Amino acid sequence: MPMKKIYFFLAMAALVITACQQKPKTVEVDIDAEKAAVSSLFARFDSAFKAKDVTTLTSFLTEDALCLGTDPSEFWNKQEIKDLWSQMLGDSVPEINYIREREIRVAADGNSAIVVDQYLMPSISPKIPWRNVYHLVKTHDKWMIFSFSCSFIPKNEDILKINEAVD
């Protein structure tokens, strides 16, 4: 009998200790304010691109950023994308014609976001649209681009034609 009482008291003590712990505070996230902050970052990103300001462009990337191009071999780190942007923007800024409004989605916890741009870049591919998908993280209350991927996005009805053309 005494052993059962000890187990009972230990179980009760564990229950009381668990019940008395403070619950973490839930922080309400203002998603609209976070979207506005991300939108502001991309306004500055676009301005830096137009100004051929590669230093500012790369300042929006995390140190361990992963940047993916359209070719399966194109996996770049921050320094490599900086070098590529310096080369690409050396003479002129490529024309970009947006075909859809920028999409911004912020996670419910307010610590990550996805941004999607769709456009045509006539100097490279006047008929096949592009899509850039950016993954942002919030670090020290500042939004940063953790990764991005560029891809061609042909219309479904054009895929057969493209496949036939590359044979």
pLDDT at 49: 96
Furthest-apart CA atoms within the chain: distance in Å: 88
Q: How confident is the model at residue 54 (pLDDT cuts 50, 70, 90)?
A: very high
CB-based contact 136:113 (threshold 8 Å): yes
pLDDT at 131: 98
Residue 106 is given by DSSP the state E
Question: Is the pLDDT assigned to residue 99 strictly greater than 80?
Answer: yes
Q: What is the mean pLDDT of residues 102-130?
A: 96
Cα distances (angstroms) measured from residue 102 to each of 9, 43, 70, 134: 60, 11, 20, 11
pTM for the structure as a whole: 0.82
- Taking only the tens place, the pLDDT of each residue in 23-38 is 666 778 999 999 999 9
Taking all residues of the chain, what is their mean pLDDT, rounded to a whole number? 91
